């Protein structure tokens, strides 16, 4: 199903060690509206949507995994040279004690990822509206991350991710219209 290229979807340049920024990025890494939740949500929902939109969910889910890889790269680069004292000062002391410099799916508050973040109703139109909301929440979070980032390379990658969320939202909106048109079409037997 997938072909893996050994390169990021978009280059990630990090100029400084900044554990606090890494902590904030964890919201998109393992938070409720983050990339892991989105990728799993869309991959799961693709099994209960009409054939006309399966490809959209598969494509976007796959791309969300590449966004997750970009975030992991940013978080790792922002923390790899941090001392335990710097991590503790950034609020990552408990993370360091449990995981060292390893990444772990958790949000910015340190709450571990949970499957309850993944929504799937089984109604294609309801699920697609949920997906639109998820993309818009991710877009907003990326904007807020850009607003607090002081690293030009990280900000550049975050802008790329924010714009991809806009595209995903548009593709889901198009899919809703396709399904509504099909639903509302007169059927003659």
Binding-site annotation: residue ranges for Mn(2+): 35, 64, 67, 135, 168
Strand, coil or helix: 141 = helix
Say if CB 154 and CB 142 are below 8 A apart.
Answer: no
91, burial (CB in 10 Å: exposed 0-12, middle 13-18, buried 19+): middle
Q: Where are the alpha helices (DSSP H) in the chain?
A: 19-30, 35-45, 51-79, 84-89, 93-99, 124-148, 152-184
User: What are the binding residues for Ca(2+)?
Assistant: 59
In Å, how far are 86, 88, 118, 148 from 70, measured between CA atoms? 23, 24, 21, 18
Residue 50 in tokens: 């009409």
187, burial (CB in 10 Å: exposed 0-12, middle 13-18, buried 19+): exposed
Measured over the CA atoms of residue 84, residue 90, residue 91 and residue 92, the dihedral's sign is negative
User: What are the binding residues?
Assistant: 35, 59, 64, 67, 135, 168
């Amino acid at each position: 199903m997938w072909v893996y290229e050994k390169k990021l979807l978009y280059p990630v340049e990090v100029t400084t060690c900044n554990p606090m920024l890494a902590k904030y990025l964890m919201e998109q890494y393992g938070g409720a509206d983050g990339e892991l939740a989105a990728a799993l949500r869309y991959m799961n929902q693709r099994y209960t949507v009409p054939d006309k939109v399966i490809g959209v969910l598969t494509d976007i889910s796959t791309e969300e995994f590449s966004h997750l890889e970009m975030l992991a790269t940013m978080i790792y680069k922002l923390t790899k040279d941090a001392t335990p004292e710097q991590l503790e000062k950034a609020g990552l002391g408990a993370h360091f004690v449990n995981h060292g410099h390893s990444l772990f799916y958790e949000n910015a508050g340190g709450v571990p990822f949970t499957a309850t973040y993944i929504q799937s109703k089984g109604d294609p139109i309801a699920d697609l509206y949920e997906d639109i909301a998820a993309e818009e929440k991710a877009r907003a979070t990326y904007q807020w991350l850009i607003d607090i980032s002081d690293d030009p390379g990280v900000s550049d990658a975050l802008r790329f991710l924010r714009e991809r969320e806009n595209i995903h939202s548009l593709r889901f909106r198009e899919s809703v219209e396709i399904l509504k048109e099909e639903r509302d079409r007169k059927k003659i037997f």
